[in-house]
Amino acid sequence: MSDVHTSRLSWRRLRALTLKETRQLLRDKSNLMVGLFLPFVLILVFGYGLSFDIKNAPVAIVSQDTSPTAQDVVAGFYLSPYFTVTRLHSMEEAQRLMRAGEVEAIVYLQSDFSRRLAASDATIQVLVNGVDANRARVLEGFAQGAIAQWSNKRAVSGASIAPAPAVRLETRLWFNEANTSTHFLVPGLIVLIMTLNGALLTSLVMAREWERGTLESLFVTPINTGELIASKLIPYFGVGLAGLTMCLLAGKFMFFVPIRGSLLLIVLISMLYLLVSLSLGLLISAATKNQFLASQIALITSFLPALMLSGFIFDLRSVPAIVRAISTVLPPTYYVEALQTLFLAGNVPGLLIKDTAVLLTAAVVLFVLIRINTRKQLV
């Protein structure tokens, strides 16, 4: 008879444990800092702070040619919203500024620029600081654009500089016509916050009970491990949903990120991912039984990969096969893909079914591992 009531889940016990866990969660300010305040800060950072869109890059223009033609070229840079121009007269001076990090690019027109232009043999030198390669490439493009604009104007007034190009390029950026990085950063932000809430907070929760010795008395009660695990997941699931709500509201009303897919699907798949992430944290916690170690492992195995390896900022197509292999076994990779699609592209069934299936598998595997790692036994 004794075995009958040992295995069955009791709602009363589950409620009591969940209530206890919730109270502990709410009472420690540091938990709420990570659970609610940090998402708020991150929303601001991501929405306003992180941007791959270049504006007002400091650039030095050295023009030793005082002719109107040369002045015209320089004026083109002044008009561009991408540059803040410093006008200089010597290349030494410009190079010094570049070395000091005060300008990011130098545009150099020689003293005989207009004369040589007339002879169809002119050169404009564009030197960029290549340290941040991505930025350098874009800056280069902008500089060429500014010059091209000037030459088009000239062509209209009849003084063509270059033969008309045989082929022109027309680029359209689907799903992100405005070409703002915020649109892909906000879905990424949700991934980060879900990972953070889940893995980091729950990685401490079981380890804390081991460290403080509270499990010994808890074990000698009728509770079963299922109740124990569920009671730890439920409150943090709530915190995760609060974070999700904050992000969705901010995305919609602060950053005007379009939601082209179904909102319901976004919420459902986020809940699924939250479960994965919470379970990962709990597994780490149950396996290490040590708060410091658990937080380090959570940081290394969940948060950093979500930031660096999920395809959220850095595209996975450019990484070596081994790194890509690692990222294909990480759940955030699929969550990022699903969210970016749901926000910007819409409901794309094939992709979403794959992502959901992977996340579901991950949740089940983690849950089984937690069960194995949580026994009502000391040592």
Partner 1 sequence: MNATLHRIAILIRKELIAILKDPRSRLVLIMPVVLQSLLFGYAATFDLNEVPYALLDTDRSNASTQFVTLLDGSGVFDRVANLSSAQQIGETIGKKRALIVIHLPADFERNIVSGRGGVVQVIADGRNSNTGNVAASYVTAAVDRFNSQWNELRGGPTPALRIETRAWYNPNLETRWAMIPSLIGALSMLQVLMLSALSVAREREQGTFDQLLVTPLRPTEIMVGKAVPPILIGLVQSSIIFLIARFWFGIPFQGSLFTLYSGLLLFTTAAVGIGLALSAFSKTMQQAMLYTFVLLMPMMLLSGLTSAISNMPSAMQYLTYANPLRYAIDLVRRVYLEGASFGYLLHDMWPLVIIALVTLPAAVWLFRHRLV
Partner 2 sequence: MNAADDFIVRGDNLTKRFERQKLDTITALDRVSFGARPGALTALVGPDGAGKTTLLRLAAGLMRADEGSLTVLGLDAAKQPQAIQDRISYMPQRFGLYEDLSVQENLDLYADLHGVTPEQRAERYPRLMEMTALAPFLDRLAGKLSGGMKQKLGLACTLVRSPELLLLDEPTVGVDPLSRRELWDIVSGLVENEGLSVIVSTSYMDEAERCAHVVVLHEGHVLASGTPQELMSRASGHSFLAMSQRGTPARKLQADLIDRPDVIDAVPHGGQVRVVLGDREPLSLQDVTFEPTSPILEDSLMMLLRHKTDEQPAANAALELTRKDSLDHSEVVIEVHDLVRKFGDFTAVNRTSFEVKRGEVFGLLGPNGAGKTTTFRMLCGLLPATSGTLKVAGADLRRARAEARQNIGYVAQKFSLYGDISVLENLQFFAGAYGLRNSRAAQRIEWALDNFELKQRASSTAGSLPGGFQRRLAMAAALLHEPAIVFLDEPTSGADPLARREFWRRIGSLADHGTTIVVTTHFMEEAEYCDRIMIQDAGTMLAIGTPEEVRRQAGSGGEPAHSMEDAFIGIVEQGRERAQRQEHAA
Closest to partner 1 by CB, 6 or 171 = 171
**Is residue 75 a contact residue for partner 1 (CB under 8 A)?**
no
Q: How far is the CB of 2 from partner 2 (least distance, A)?
A: 3
Size, binding site for partner 2 by CB under 8 A: 34
Strand 57-63 relative to strand 105-109: parallel, antiparallel, unpaired?
parallel
**Is residue 220 a contact residue for partner 2 (CB under 8 A)?**
yes
Q: How far apart are CA 152 and CA 183, in angstroms?
A: 33
**Is residue 137 a contact residue for partner 2 (CB under 8 A)?**
no
Question: Which element (helix H / strand E) includes 60?
Answer: strand 57-63
Site string for partner 1, 277-316 (x = CB under 8 A): --------------xxx-xx--xx---x---xx-xxxxxx
Closest to partner 2 by CB, 28 or 177 = 28
Which tokens in the block code for residue 189? Answer: 């932000």
Residue 292 interacts with which of partner 2, partner 1, none, CB < 5 to 8 Å by class = partner 1
Question: Which element (helix H / strand E) includes 113?
Answer: helix 113-118
Q: How far apart are CA 233 and CA 274, in angstroms?
A: 10
Check if the beta carbon of residue 151 is closer than 8 Å to that of residue 162.
yes
Rounded to an integer, what is the distance from CA 271 to the centroid of its chain? Answer: 19
Closest to partner 1 by CB, 34 or 259 = 34
Q: How far apart are CA 195 and CA 188, in angstroms?
A: 11
Residues in 347-376 at the binding interface with partner 1, rule: CB under 8 A: 348, 350-351
For partner 1, the binding residue among 66, 90, 111, 125 (CB under 8 A) is 125
Q: How far apart are CA 260 and CA 25, in angstroms?
A: 35
Which tokens in the block code for residue 212? Answer: 């403080």
Closest to partner 1 by CB, 298 or 363 = 298
Check if the beta carbon of residue 198 is closer than 8 Å to that of residue 281.
yes
Residues in 222-241 at the binding interface with partner 2, rule: CB under 8 A: 222-224
Residue 320 interacts with which of partner 1, partner 2, none, CB < 5 to 8 Å by class = partner 1
Q: How far is the CB of 204 from partner 2 (least distance, A)?
A: 13
Residues with Cβ within 8 Å of 368's Cβ and at least 6 positions away in sequence, in order, are none
Residue with tokens 């601001």: 44
Residues in 140-169 at the binding interface with partner 1, rule: CB under 8 A: 140-141, 143-144, 147, 151, 160-169
**Is residue 71 a contact residue for partner 1 (CB under 8 A)?**
no
Q: How far is the CB of 219 from partner 2 (least distance, A)?
A: 6
CA-wise closest residue to 271 among 249, 307, 242: 242
Size, binding site for partner 1 by CB under 8 A: 115
Half-sphere exposure of 360 (CA within 13 A, CB side): 8
Residue 218 interacts with which of partner 1, partner 2, none, CB < 5 to 8 Å by class = partner 2
* Residues making contact with partner 2 (CB under 8 A): 2-3, 5-6, 10, 12-13, 15-17, 19-20, 23-24, 27-28, 209, 212-224, 376-379
